[in-house]
Structure 1
Amino acid sequence: MTAAVPRARRVHSRTAVLPAHGRRHNLSLVLQTLYTAGPMSRADLARRVGLTKVTVSDLVAELLESGHAIELGPSGQVRPGKPATLVDINRTGLQIIGLDLAEHETLRAAVLDLDGRILARAERPLPDDVAATAVATDPVLDTVRDLLHEILDAATAPLLGVGVGTPGIVGPRGVVDTAPNLGWTDVPLRDLLVEETGLPVFVSNDADAAVHADHTLGGGGDDVILVKIGRGVGCGLIVGGNRVHGAHFAAGEIGHVTVGTDGGSRCRCGKVGCLETWLSAPNLERLLADADPADPERPLREAGERLGIAIAPVVAALDLSEVVLTGPENLLRGVLLRTLEETLRSRVLARPTDTLSVRLARDSDDIVLRGASVLVLWDQLGVA
């Protein structure tokens, strides 16, 4: 059976250049075109990317030799002469490792193919003694290493690399500057995992990974804010098709924004009324358990309203078209999502066609794992 092909997307800011100006650019352009548009002949590929047939044939030959592309056999189209041979990105012959370190009870790992399908899984419980400690004796890092080796053994094809979605602020070199939920400060996670595996490793904030998954694999748009709710609360932003990082790589760190002036619970950061105290999965579950039986849904309404208050200025300032939530669907679907949408619509300027979409992400359970695989796709193959 032929693998499902993701729907075609606009190729962002990637036009053909002369080979002397960047062979790698053109290789990435060919791969991205195949990834988004699906199998095609060399002639059709040349027309699509705006290069000569000779140049495309040369690029395809290199991609076949590296294993990044494959030939699928003759095209079914009836044309004069010899049938054209279809080529495609090697969707099933290459694999990626994804790690999700953001769940509030477990650390998760998976082997994925290039279309983001999960082929094998592994998980370990998050250690109870999460606290700041030396890297050499960190129980969370020890568990991550064990989990990584377990999932590496489950791979059945050559690996492109390892993608990691972690809570906290992640610098450009894969250093986790701070992740209070894991007790981490200045942890060189990328270098540690490269040393363990010998593979390329790419580390991102978990919400950033999730928004990449929604954009590349989930049909998300080019102007979107994705709010991820789990052990903490964070968001990823894509504006004009590009990920927004911020001056200190902390764009989207909304969990410790104080929402309102009417008090609230004291947060572990020391402030009172942080968004996370209303909306993180553990806190929301606790609030629901303690809710007044006469109004059991009040914590969900308050959480949706507080989130709407927090992100309405962002939606308005950036003119975003989509607001996406990901996290435990039993908490987010229904009252919370409805209240969020009502709050946003009451706080942003009405649009002529009312184009603001507020929705849940697809495949919330696996969105960080799939987003982690997109990080590897982007760096190794130029596919986004």
Structure 2
Amino acid sequence: MTATTSARAFAPGRALRPGGKVLPEHARAHNRSLVLQTLFHQAAMSRADLARETGLTRVTISDLVGELIADGFIVETGTRESSGPGKPAILVDLDRAGHRIVGLDLSGSEVVIGAVLGLDGSIIERREIPLPVAGDLLDAVVELARGLVDAADAPVLGIGVGSPGVVDPRGVILAAPNFGWVGFDLEGVLRNALGLPVLVANDANAAVLAEYTFGGAGDDVLLVKIGRGVGSGLLAGGQPMRGARFAAGEIGHVTVGTDGGPECVCGKIGCLEAWLSVPSLAQRLDAASPADHDRILRDAGERLGIALAPIVGALDLSEIVLSGPPELLDGPLMDAALETLRTRTLAEFHDGVRVRMTAQGQDIVLRGAAVMVLSGQLGVS
């Protein structure tokens, strides 16, 4: 049995604002999620502790804990040490080893990465395959996922996938120019092939969830994911932003500057992705002398700052996080992006904007995929 909730949370004490009141028919699922969410972030506690933390009655907590133990999501971990009189309290906790999650990251410029993850986002087993040509990609992804499911040492709660492109809430790839996918139901295809719950999201949107849950990002943050393409995931007031056509954060195909530039895979000239994607940037660096490398990186950073400035100005963001190869991003490129951002926004309000690299490395999308599954299947993250 799984639970859903109308107020998904992505970090301790930072639940997303619910879209409306919890209806009576949804109350039990909401309360299950509340119990799981509390244990997920605060570790083992007694039933009485849970009642105090959640605001639910002890009778309700006792009932829910019994149900969640039967469903295999909670375990009793022993008794609390006590020097006082009375029977020691029995502690319960999320059964962190009781289920696994499979995560897939399709955003790499050279490889597809997959992993078996724990409920805490830890990588238990990690595999990668060379990026196939577009026509062979789906079969390779299915085979990778199937192998990871077989390798899991506990039941798999679900499969989370981070994919380049514009992805709607049903997991349909509306457009992924690098793969040639248009209106492709990746979620449905994988679900049918693997026989497990599957959740698909844009890779940058998955990454920003990982940064919010595991990376200490604030409530107003833009994560720029730079790999085979360029995209971003956005949280404003702790709320993921998708946009009217599910394309919020698609900054890769914004033209930066009026001086032309390289041709983009989308057919336009001078898109941010054509300047900043890992293949494009690496190609220009390889063709240049080492003395010109800093200039090339600073130029790419300036283009990024041009794209970011109106977003920061419009949304009053406090933090920009970069995800991608640190050898390309961390240095002249990031410095130039921050300088350009500050010169193009209102100093009184935006001089304190922080630009930093994620500390989660290349596993950020995999960990975001785990957040997606936790939220979708259990209502916690």
- TM-score, normalization by structure 2: 0.93
Partner amino acid for 1:82?
K
CA distance in 2, matches of 1:339, 1:378: 37
Partner amino acid for 1:380?
Q
Matched residue, 1:111: 116
CA distance in 2, matches of 1:260, 1:210: 27
Matched residue, 1:134: none
Compute the RMSD of aligned alpha carbons: 2.0
Deviation of 1:66 (Å): 0.7
CA deviation profile, 1:335-363 (whole Å, cap 9, x unmatched): 11111112212222224695422111122
- Partner of 1:165, secondary structure, is strand
**Is the alpha carbon distance of 1:53 and 1:16 closer, same or farther for their aligned partners in structure 2, counting shifts above 3 Å?**
farther
Decide whether the 8 Å contact of 1:288 with 1:297 is kept in 2.
Answer: no
Matched residue, 2:4: none
1:329 aligns with 2:329: no
Name structure 2 gaps, 5 residues minimum. 1-9
**Is the alpha carbon distance of 1:86 and 1:11 closer, same or farther for their aligned partners in structure 2, counting shifts above 3 Å?**
farther
**Is the alpha carbon distance of 1:18 and 1:181 closer, same or farther for their aligned partners in structure 2, counting shifts above 3 Å?**
closer
Deviation of 1:247 (Å): 0.5
Q: Which of 2, 7, 12 in structure 1 is aligned with 2:16? A: 12
CA deviation profile, 1:280-324 (whole Å, cap 9, x unmatched): 001111111122443321111011111011011111211111100
1:288 aligns with 2:285: yes
CA distance in 1, matches of 2:33, 2:314: 33
CA distance in 2, matches of 1:11, 1:75: 29
Q: Which of 34, 58, 62 in structure 2 is aligned with 1:57? A: 62
Decide whether the 8 Å contact of 2:230 with 2:252 is kept in 1.
Answer: yes
- Partner of 1:88, secondary structure, is strand
Decide whether the 8 Å contact of 2:313 with 2:346 is kept in 1.
Answer: yes
CA deviation profile, 1:87-115 (whole Å, cap 9, x unmatched): 11121221000011110111111100001
CA distance in 1, matches of 2:82, 2:202: 45
Decide whether the 8 Å contact of 1:16 with 1:29 is kept in 2.
Answer: no
Deviation of 1:21 (Å): 5.4
Matched residue, 1:199: 196
Q: Percent identity?
A: 57
Name structure 1 gaps, 5 residues minimum. 1-5, 131-137
Decide whether the 8 Å contact of 2:223 with 2:233 is kept in 1.
Answer: yes
Q: Which of 114, 120, 125 in structure 1 is aligned with 2:125? A: 120
Decide whether the 8 Å contact of 2:177 with 2:265 is kept in 1.
Answer: no
**Is the alpha carbon distance of 1:298 and 1:354 closer, same or farther for their aligned partners in structure 2, counting shifts above 3 Å?**
closer
Matches within 5 A, 1:339-350: 339-350=336-347
Matched residue, 1:72: 77
**Is the alpha carbon distance of 1:115 and 1:16 closer, same or farther for their aligned partners in structure 2, counting shifts above 3 Å?**
farther
Matched residue, 2:353: 356
Q: Which moved more, 1:198-207 or 1:295-304?
A: 295-304
Partner amino acid for 2:40?
Y
Matches within 5 A, 1:59-208: 59-76=64-81, 78-127=83-132, 129-130=133-134, 138-208=135-205
Q: Which of 364, 371, 375 in structure 2 is aligned with 1:367? A: 364
